[in-house]
């Protein structure tokens, strides 16, 4: 397929406590070293813009209706694409985002039960370009591990936000939806066994072949 943009878009995904936050800064640094002439934009969802960060604090704190939650996630994403992601990709930059749309399918869909139809509709609305093609990451790195291991890790490091307070059954559903999506699109996904040590995971990330369009 012809590349949509001169830039390159990487998203990191996984259930809370999978360890992606440990690796994202090092991965951004690696990209800077491997592609010294290119700018690397590090960002996150929900968030990435000033409006998006305001929506993030609401989303991570306030209990809300499931559809409201999905709409706000995608509203933040629309702003993120318009202000940050698409301009950067058009300018040939490397964009690295801590989460993107797979998280909505996994958390609001798999975890909370929002229909795939509604999520697909929101995705088309928010990521659809004028030519009808969807803006998607070139590469999605999925940190996969059992919910119980992630829960154990989370309990050691921080006070839980709204999502992190959900029970094990919720995180197992989120995990299964991530894995289902990875299986359906093996070209885009790289699945990391996040039960491995950070050193082994880092070796794996370093061996990824990021070829710019
Ligand atoms: P996370 O990315 O884990 O950040 P931190 O490490 O600071 O906690 O937190 C974002 C939370 O938002 C996470 O629990 C997943 C959730 N989320 C959704 O439910 N849907 C989405 O579309 C996105 C982007 C995130």
CB burial readout 169-185, b (16+ within 10 A) else e: ebbbbbbebbbebbeee
- Which helix (H) or strand (E) segment holds residue 112: the answer is none
- List pocket residues of ligand 1, CB cut-off 6 Å: 16, 21, 45-46, 60, 73, 98-99, 103-104, 107-108, 161, 163
Protein residue with least CA distance to atom 20, ligand 1: 104
Q: What does pTM read for this prediction?
A: 0.96
- Distance of alpha carbon 159 from alpha carbon 168, whole angstroms: 16
Each residue of 36-46: pLDDT tens digit? 999 999 999 99
Pocket test for ligand 1, best of 15, 42, 71, 161 (most atoms within 8 A of CB): 161
Print pLDDT tens along the chain (213 aa). Answer: 568 999 999 999 999 999 999 999 999 999 999 999 999 999 999 999 999 999 999 999 999 999 999 999 999 999 999 999 999 999 999 999 999 999 999 999 999 999 999 999 999 999 999 999 999 999 999 999 999 999 999 988 888 999 999 999 999 999 999 999 999 999 999 999 999 999 999 999 999 978 777
Closest ligand 1 atom to Cα of 164: 14
- Distance of alpha carbon 211 from alpha carbon 213, whole angstroms: 6
Q: Closest Cα partner for 19 from 208, 201, 203, 206? A: 201
Q: Domains, the chain, ranges and CATH?
A: 2-206 (3.40.50.300)
């Amino acid at each position: 397929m012809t590349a949509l943009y001169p830039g390159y878009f990487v998203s990191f995904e996984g259930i809370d406590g999978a360890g992606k936050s440990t690796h994202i800064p090092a991965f951004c640094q690696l990209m800077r070293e491997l592609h010294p002439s290119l700018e690397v934009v590090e960002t996150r969802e929900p968030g990435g813009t000033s409006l998006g960060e305001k929506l993030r604090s609401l989303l991570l704190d306030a209990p809300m209706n499931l559809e409201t939650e999905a709409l706000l996630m995608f509203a933040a994403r629309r702003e993120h694409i318009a202000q940050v992601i698409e301009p950067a990709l058009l300018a040939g930059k490397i964009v690295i985002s801590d989460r993107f749309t797979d998280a909505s399918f996994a958390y609001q869909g798999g975890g909370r039960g929002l229909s795939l139809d509604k999520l697909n509709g929101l995705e088309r609305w928010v990521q659809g370009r004028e030519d009808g093609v969807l803006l998607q990451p070139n590469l999605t790195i999925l940190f996969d591990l059992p919910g119980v291991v992630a829960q154990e890790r989370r309990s050691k490091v921080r006070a839980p936000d709204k999502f992190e307070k959900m029970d094990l059954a919720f995180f197992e559903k989120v995990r299964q939806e991530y894995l289902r999506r990875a299986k359906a699109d093996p070209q885009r996904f790289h699945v990391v066994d996040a039960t491995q040590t950070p050193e082994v995971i880092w070796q794996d990330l370093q061996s990824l072949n990021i070829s710019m369009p």
